[in-house]
Chains A and B, each alone.
Chain A
Amino acid sequence: MNEMNQVRKPPVATTGIIGWLRINLFFNWTNSLITLFVIYCLYQFIPWILDWTIFSADFKYNYLGEQITNQEMCSRNLDPENGGACWAVIYVRFYQFIYGFYPKVEVWRVNIAYAMLALALLPLLFAKLPYRKYFLYFTYIFPVIAYFLLNGGLGFTEVSTNKWGGLLVTLVLGCTGIALAFPIGIMLALGRRSKLPVISMMCTLFIEFIRGVPLITLLFFGMVMLPLFLPEGIDMDGLVRVLVAVTLFQSAYMAEVIRGGLQAIPPGQYEAAKSLGMSYWRMNLLIVLPQAIRISIPPIVNTSIGLFKDTTLVIIVGILDLLGIGRGTLADTNWLGLSYEIYFFVSLVFFIFTFGMSRYSLYLEKKLKTGINMGAD
Chain B
Amino acid sequence: MGNFELNKSIIWINLLIWYREAIFEKRYLNNYLNGENNMKKLLSIFAVVAFAFSAHAGTLDDVKNRGFLKCGVTTGLAGFAAPDDSGEWAGLDADMCRAVAVAVFGDRSKVEFITTTGKSRFPTLASGEVDMLARNTTWTISRDVNLGFEFVGVNFYDGQGFMIPSALGVSSATELDGATVCIQTGTTTELNLADFFRLNGISYEALPIETNDEGKENLFAGRCDVYTTDASGLSSTRAAASDPDKWVVLPEIISKEPLGPLVRHGDHQWGDVVRWSLNAMIIAEELGITSENVDAQMSSNVPEVLRLLGVEGNYGEMLELSNDWAYQIIKQIGNYSESYEANVGPDTPLEIARGLNALWTQGGILYAPPFR
Contacts and interface: CB of A to CB of B under 8 A. Distances in A.
A320 B75 contact: yes
A216 B78 CA distance: 26
Contact of A333 (B1, B78, B242): B78
Nearest to B113: A162
A334 B85 contact: yes
Given A217-B22, A318-B117, A101 B87 contact: yes
B32 A220 contact: yes
B29 interface: yes
Contacts of B19: 217
A96 B86 CA distance: 8
B155 to A, nearest CB: 17
Contacts of B239: 333, 336-337
B75 to A, nearest CB: 6
B76 A160 contact: no
B367 interface: no
A347 to B, nearest CB: 14
Contacts of A334: 84-85, 349
B115 A318 contact: yes
Contact of A318 (B75, B83, B87): B75
Contacts of B236: 331, 333, 336
Contacts of A216: 28-29, 32
Interface residues of B, number: 48
Contacts of A77: 242
B120 A160 contact: no
A331 B350 contact: no
Nearest to B73: A318
Given A225-B15, A336-B240, A337-B239, A327 B75 contact: yes
B83 A317 contact: no
A92 B85 CA distance: 7
Contacts of B349: 71-72, 333-334, 336
Interface in B223-245: 236, 239-242
A210 to B, nearest CB: 13
Nearest to A96: B87
B120 to A, nearest CB: 5
A333 B350 contact: yes
A96 B81 CA distance: 16
Contact of A214 (B28, B117, B241): B28
A220 B119 contact: yes
B29 A214 contact: yes
A233 to B, nearest CB: 11
B278 interface: no
Contact of A319 (B15, B85, B115): B115
Contacts of A162: 112-114
Contacts of A3: none
A69 B123 CA distance: 37
B36 to A, nearest CB: 15
B284 to A, nearest CB: 24
A329 interface: yes
A331 B87 contact: no
A238 B124 CA distance: 11
B22 A328 contact: no
B85 A333 contact: no
SS of A interface (majority): helix
A220 B116 CA distance: 12
Contacts of A72: 349
A44 to B, nearest CB: 20
A146 to B, nearest CB: 22
Interface in B9-25: 11, 15, 19, 22-23
Contacts of B124: 224, 318
Contact of A228 (B127, B343, B350): B127
Nearest to B74: A331
B310 interface: no
Contacts of B32: 216, 220, 316
B22 A337 contact: no
Interface centre among A76, A162, A225 (most CB of B within 10 A): A225
Contact of B82 (A95, A160, A331): A331
Interface string A210-225: 0011101100100111
Given A223-B120, A333-B350, A336-B240, A228 B83 contact: no
B97 to A, nearest CB: 14
B61 to A, nearest CB: 15
Interface centre among B23, B116, B240, B241 (most CB of A within 10 A): B240
A361 to B, nearest CB: 29
Nearest to B220: A337
Interface in A202-260: 212-214, 216-217, 220, 223-225, 227-229, 232, 238
A261 interface: no
A223 B83 CA distance: 22
Given A223-B120, A316-B117, A318-B124, A228 B49 contact: yes
Contacts of B350: 333
B260 to A, nearest CB: 20
A278 to B, nearest CB: 43
A154 B239 CA distance: 48
B242 A316 contact: no
Contacts of A328: 75-76, 82-83
B75 A324 contact: yes
Nearest to B8: A229
Given A214-B29, A220-B120, A332-B85, 7 more contacts: A92-B85, A160-B112, A228-B49, A315-B117, A331-B78, A333-B79, A336-B239
8 contacts: A96-B83, A223-B123, A224-B120, A228-B127, A320-B115, A332-B82, A333-B78, A336-B349
* List of 5 A-B pairs having minimum Cβ-Cβ separation, nearest first: A337-B240, A331-B76, A328-B76, A331-B82, A224-B123
